[in-house]
Structure 1
Amino acid sequence: MDKLSLLQDKMEQEGLGRIRRNEPMAKHTTIRIGGPAELLIEPKDTGSLKKVIELVNESGIKWRAIGRGSNLLVKDTGIDGIVIKLSKGMDHMVLNGNELRVGGGYSLIKLVTLISKKGLSGFEFAGGIPGSVGGAVFMNAGAHGSDIATILKKALILFEDGTLKWLTNKEMVFSYRTSILQKKPGIVVEAVFQLKEGDRDKIVGEMQKYKEYRSETQPWTEPCCGSVFRNPLPEHAGHLIERSGLKGYRVGGAKISEKHANFIVNVENASAKDVITIIDFVKETIKNKYGVDMHTEVEIVES
């Protein structure tokens, strides 16, 4: 029996969660693109996740974790090894006064809506941002002049070696769309946020305003992976791409959105190769026109 099958047997015997072989990642990314993962598991709870990491490390097989796949572009060749998806079982939530403790697999959109309706302020900026809480903490998601770093108190991280550790806001070393987890990889198991009481109607109104703005200006009704490029501050990626006349630029089944130039949409069974070709063309065009280096915000996952 090969190592992967042996590992699968162990995880099934332990009852650690739902397991699938050769699972198309197109089913697990918002852009609906991606070749198969050799093995995908959705741990049923935090204990199961920790055991999965332990068994995977023992096997020597490489692994990676994902949330709701809103910031991922998986190559057409797929992903070798194990993909660990945080979803049901990792989406718990406990509210204690103004302090919120929530699982890494919780939907950010669902959380923001729920918390705003409770009259708690702090998450309004995230109205309409897709993805999971874990992914938002990992990349310090933000909008409208605020971000996760402004409200996170601490996060429980499961590191590659199987160690579970709480990191404070300071220890997360947040900066623009990044955290310590880009340098020291780990899975955001839980996050604790410090919120403030406020006027419920005002909070809901502000959250809804941001949500509607996102809906009106970004193509989330189409398969996409969110903002493709980081903003090369003080410039904005979308403005540079639009000024270059690239809105609607198409390769195969993928094209730059007519709605927002920093989005690439899957309009007709696009491949990852189509999207990457567009990304490379945008980088070259912007460099030649403006002398600006463009860096991707979307994570391109190698096999």
Structure 2
Amino acid sequence: MKLSDLTKNGIEIKRQVPLSKYTFTKTGGPAEFLAFPRNESELKNLVIAAHDNNIPLTIIGNASNLIIRDGGISGIVLILTKMNQIKVDKNKVIAQAGATIVETAFTAAHHSLSGLEFAAGIPGSVGGAVFMNAGAYGGETCNVIESVRVMTRSGNFKNYSQSEMKFSYRHSLVQENGDIVLEAVFALKRSAKNRILADMNYLNALRQYKQPLEYPSCGSVFKRPTGHYVGPMIIQAGLQGKQIGGAQDSTKHAGFIVNKGNATATDYLDLIHLIQEKIKTKFGLDLHTEVRIIGKPND
């Protein structure tokens, strides 16, 4: 199957689309080909076409915890945000990969289901939350996952149990094997809707107070080293407020890097590398990025 065959079948495939339109940092080069599959059938056809024609394939969720280099991405980029159905079955919420984790959490809340409160302000998709084992304020995706349905890169379907997903801090099995998250089943507990919503509103108010939500960013940039907090170390290294191009280490929360205006992905990466070097020199610690960095450098 060729890409031209897919367009004849009603799948829209765009060429050379700036991915800065879709990333939360508002940076990133173009996708060679870009498509928004509307269902599993379209996704499977795109995946098989990429596999059969040896075309690189990149899956993007809500692009909230992602830096795409300024050279863009070769091959096909698939954004799954149109695959966004959410269903409730007793104490379970079944959400497609393209649904936002925020909407999933609020759907659970309105059905008096507790467990996803921590995700009320996480801007990613369900697929991204599973991929990264996203977490905040003491909660993690892995704690409420019952099973995950995926598609392999050859177009086959599989189901993984929670234990088979090999969850750990900001890690899951699909980071290793390249499987594409299609759907997640969250097993939740009954509770009072008003109490759940109150907890979610409190956490969102806390985020608003602590995080620089007024600027584009990719969220928390670095993984937390055991026994340390990244923000205070950056402050002690004298780097809070440091700016390279349009990218600035946030003056509100040093663990965030924000786009102050016309930042490039290269600005972000240069600032990330500077912070890593200074923290290594001052504290002897290697800071690893939580944000995913993909794509080609600018020519």
TM-score greater than 0.5 by the shorter chain: yes
Query: Quick one: distance in 1 between partners of 2:256 and 2:13?
Result: 32
- Counterpart of 1:173 (choices 145, 166, 178) is 166
Task: Determine helix, strand or coil for the equivalent of 1:43.
Answer: coil
RMSD of aligned Cα (Å): 1.2
Amino acid at match of 2:10: G
Task: Determine helix, strand or coil for the equivalent of 2:204.
Answer: helix
Amino acid at match of 1:250: Q
> How many pairs were matched up?
296
Structure 2 residue 227 is matched with structure 1 residue 196: no
Once the two structures are superposed, the pairs formed by residues 125-140 of structure 1 within 5 Å of their partners are 125-140=118-133
| Alpha-carbon distance change, 224 to 7 in structure 1, aligned in 2, over 3 angstroms | farther
Amino acid at match of 1:8: L
User: Structure 2: which 5+ residue stretches go unaligned?
Assistant: none
- Counterpart of 2:20 (choices 10, 15, 26) is 26
Query: Quick one: distance in 2 between partners of 1:271 and 1:124?
Result: 33
Amino acid at match of 1:65: I
Query: Quick one: distance in 2 between partners of 1:206 and 1:117?
Result: 13
Task: Determine helix, strand or coil for the equivalent of 1:70.
Answer: coil
Offset at residue 157 of structure 1 (A)? 1.0
User: Structure 1: which 5+ residue stretches go unaligned?
Assistant: 1-5
Query: Quick one: distance in 2 between partners of 1:19 and 1:258?
Result: 40
Structure 2 residue 29 is matched with structure 1 residue 11: no
Query: Quick one: distance in 2 between partners of 1:233 and 1:33?
Result: 30
CA deviation profile, 1:57-76 (whole Å, cap 9, x unmatched)? 11111011001100111111
Identity among equivalent positions (%) equals 40
Query: Quick one: distance in 1 between partners of 2:124 and 2:137?
Result: 17
Structure 2 residue 31 is matched with structure 1 residue 37: yes
Query: Quick one: distance in 2 between partners of 1:215 and 1:165?
Result: 39
Once the two structures are superposed, the pairs formed by residues 1-150 of structure 1 within 5 Å of their partners are 7-16=2-11, 18-88=12-82, 90-150=83-143
Query: Which residue does the alignment assign to 1:220?
Result: 213
TM-score for both structures, normalised by structure 1:
0.95
CA deviation profile, 1:128-169 (whole Å, cap 9, x unmatched)? 010100000011001121201110000011122222100000
Query: Quick one: distance in 2 between partners of 1:215 and 1:172?
Result: 32
- Counterpart of 1:252 (choices 245, 251, 255) is 245
Would you say the 8 A contact 2:133–2:141 is kept in 1?
yes
Amino acid at match of 1:157: V
Amino acid at match of 2:202: K
Structure 2 residue 166 is matched with structure 1 residue 182: no
TM-score for both structures, normalised by structure 2:
0.96
Query: Quick one: distance in 2 between partners of 1:139 and 1:158?
Result: 17
Runs of 4+ in 1 over 4 A off after TM superposition: none
